Structure 1
Amino acid sequence: MNKMFKKIFGWECSSFDIYQQSYYKFGGSVNTHPKILQYLLDKKICEIDFYHYKEKDIIQGCFFEINNKIGINLWRTYPITSDEIILPVNVDKKVFLPGRSNKISSAHSNHFYNTIFTKFRPKKKFICLAKDDFSKKSHKNRRNEFNKFIKEGGVVKNVNELQPEQLANIYALLFKKRFQDNVKCYNKEILIDFFTYFKDMIFGYVLFIDGSLPCAYDFILKAESDKWIYFDVPNGGVDPDYSHLSVGSILMWLNINEADKLCNDKNKKRLFSIGLYDPKWDYKTRWCNKVPVGKTIFM
């Protein structure tokens, strides 16, 4: 989409600084967080074009493009998902979004004139967003699983207790145990660099058995703005030898509860993504609601 076309719809070339200010004011997702973009720029991984829309000299929204497409598509090399894109825009305005994407969050369902979310859209995608609450029975079951895990020698540690290299090693170990050779894990050096750079955004717990043996870890990044805190789970791993202790379920329960506590303490909305929905990953529906992502049209 050329710059002249963008200008016709009121969008101007912008800067990282303007984008960053808009993000913290209007909110966004993890994959649109300024620090994620700063990482890509610092490492010279790609070029990023920024745009903003304003009325009466007041910025009302921003977006960015990489290779003429909205969002980041580097998940094969870096643990950055692009399953759902939330852009920093004023929710009280409705504008034309002059860019290409098929992963626009349903949070934008009334913000852009040219996005569709209908069930008639071919190859419709769904994102899994954690439910706002769970039944008393679910909480009771998770508590029972947790107590059994502790009695069997289980230990829970906050990620803040571990160094980036430790977390990277744990992630790689459990990822490979979970997926074997069916899914390629990220390069170890990239993981260590990523965990170091984003230490302040890493969130959640790691489960250990027999004191020091890691058995479950979901890599979670959190992105905070004035509007909400967005939690994103690019992927994780579990040791199948301990599936009888329901370590995956215990970990998810602990992480969602901790996210709720943080958001309640800060009086902010909680958004918690567990990635794309696929029938073969139907276990996600225990924790999540299926929410469609949209596509820009007339591009």
Structure 2
Amino acid sequence: MLILFLTHLKLKQTGWEECGLAAYTQIYNTFGGSFCTHPRVLSYLSERESLSVQYYLKRSASGPVAAVFSINGSLEYKNPGIPFVFDDLILPVKPGVKVMLPFKTKRLSPYSQTSVRNSIRHNLFKKKIAHIKSDFSAKSVKKRNGEVRRFQQNGGVIEDVTAFSPDEISTIYHQLFNLRWQNTVKCINRDVLHETFTEFRDMIFGKILFVNDRPCAFDLNYKVECPSWYYFEDFNGGLDPQFKSLGIGSVLLWENIREAKALSASANKKCIFSLGAYNPAWQYKKQWCDIMPSGRTLF
């Protein structure tokens, strides 16, 4: 009862009112967000995992200007058994509006930082996010394109994920993930993968690499189109180590980046591409990304 009272008090003090999924969806569609804050993701998790998800909106004289959700009183959710992460929280907030968030998080995206009054970012914070660089040097572009040509000259083929069924994608992902990690990291259950690829078919994005008709590299990427940007998120993936000499990891990532940037440019929208959380063990991300501290809320 005390927790409920304190939550109600925070909401009242910060000017939020409870709303339904439909209202949250409308605000998200108006102002945009990231994959983990997408209403379809939240609704899916609520139903599949029996989570208690509440939605809230903030109004101005002209109408709703922001929305936020709460999963059991938090803006974050962790479940190693499903292929979703809450590492990069972009909340639907009208540009120029600043809000006070009534819930705690240490995973606020840099793109939401300026919208949240009670948040702070510092390079000393342990939690960091990796966003693909907006531009690459001419030298880097030449190098990456050369890697792609070399891969293709050695029998490599690049296919789009949309050419494959959910069953085929889940099989490819499961196989390549296990080859990459060799049981040091547990793969998502194949049935869960199939369910995800079916439910979010239109949001699955990227390329699959083949050599001699065998899949050799695939990353699970999600895509969300918002009014001012496309948001892409690389969840995780796999590759066949026997083809590492062909640079398949770099070729795959470069092809996914090129596709994401081209799609965004064709719609005259910003490209936001998250490679997920960063820690020093994943040094390769520094080659591709701007490493930025995640924001955390203060209350």
Same fold per superposition (TM over 0.5) = yes
Match of 1:105 among 106, 109, 114: 109
Shift of 1:108: 2.0
Letter in 2 for 1:10: G
What is aligned with 1:32?
37
What is aligned with 1:192?
194
Letter in 1 for 2:32: G
Letter in 2 for 1:247: I
- Partners of 1:145 and 1:246 within 8 A in 2: yes
Match of 2:60 among 55, 64, 74: 55
Letter in 1 for 2:114: N
**Does 2:297 align with 1:293?**
no
| Percentage of matched positions with identical amino acids | 39
What is aligned with 1:209?
211
Match of 1:80 among 66, 79, 84: 84
Letter in 1 for 2:121: F
- Partners of 2:120 and 2:298 within 8 A in 1: yes
CA distance in 1 between partners of 2:124 and 2:271 (Å): 29
Letter in 2 for 1:17: A
Letter in 2 for 1:204: G
**Does 2:16 align with 1:11?**
yes
**Does 2:108 align with 1:93?**
no
The size of the alignment, in residue pairs, is 294
Letter in 2 for 1:185: C
Query: Within 5 A, what are the aligned runs for 1:153-172?
Result: 153-172=155-174
CA distance in 2 between partners of 1:12 and 1:33 (Å): 19
Shift of 1:45: 3.2
Shift of 1:272: 0.2
What is aligned with 2:183?
181
Where 1:90 maps in the other structure, the secondary structure is coil
Where 1:234 maps in the other structure, the secondary structure is strand
CA distance in 1 between partners of 2:110 and 2:144 (Å): 30
Shift of 1:8: 1.9
Letter in 2 for 1:56: A
Where 1:258 maps in the other structure, the secondary structure is helix
- Partners of 2:131 and 2:289 within 8 A in 1: yes
CA distance in 2 between partners of 1:282 and 1:119 (Å): 17
Shift of 1:44: 4.9
Shift of 1:189: 0.6
Shift of 1:146: 1.3
Could you list the runs of 5+ residues in structure 1 that have no partner in the other structure?
none
What is aligned with 1:234?
235
Where 1:217 maps in the other structure, the secondary structure is strand
What is aligned with 1:144?
146
Query: Residues 40-78 of structure 1, C-alpha deviation per residue, up to 9 Å, x if partnerless?
Result: 23435312100111012610100001111013323x011
Query: Residues 240-299 of structure 1, C-alpha deviation per residue, up to 9 Å, x if partnerless?
Result: 11110000000111000000110011111100000111111101111101011111112x
Shift of 1:138: 1.3
Query: Within 5 A, what are the aligned runs for 1:248-287?
Result: 248-287=249-288
State the TM-score, normalizing by the size of structure 2.
0.95
Could you list the runs of 5+ residues in structure 2 that have no partner in the other structure?
1-5
CA distance in 2 between partners of 1:257 and 1:182 (Å): 31
State the TM-score, normalizing by the size of structure 1.
0.95
CA distance in 1 between partners of 2:105 and 2:33 (Å): 15
Where in structure 1 do 4 or more consecutive aligned residues deviate above 6 Å?
A: none
Letter in 2 for 1:26: F
1:174 to 1:120, Cα distance in 2 relative to 1, 3 A: closer
Letter in 2 for 1:267: N
Query: Within 5 A, what are the aligned runs for 1:111-122?
Result: 111-121=115-125
Shift of 1:164: 0.5
- Partners of 1:25 and 1:227 within 8 A in 2: no
- Partners of 2:123 and 2:292 within 8 A in 1: no
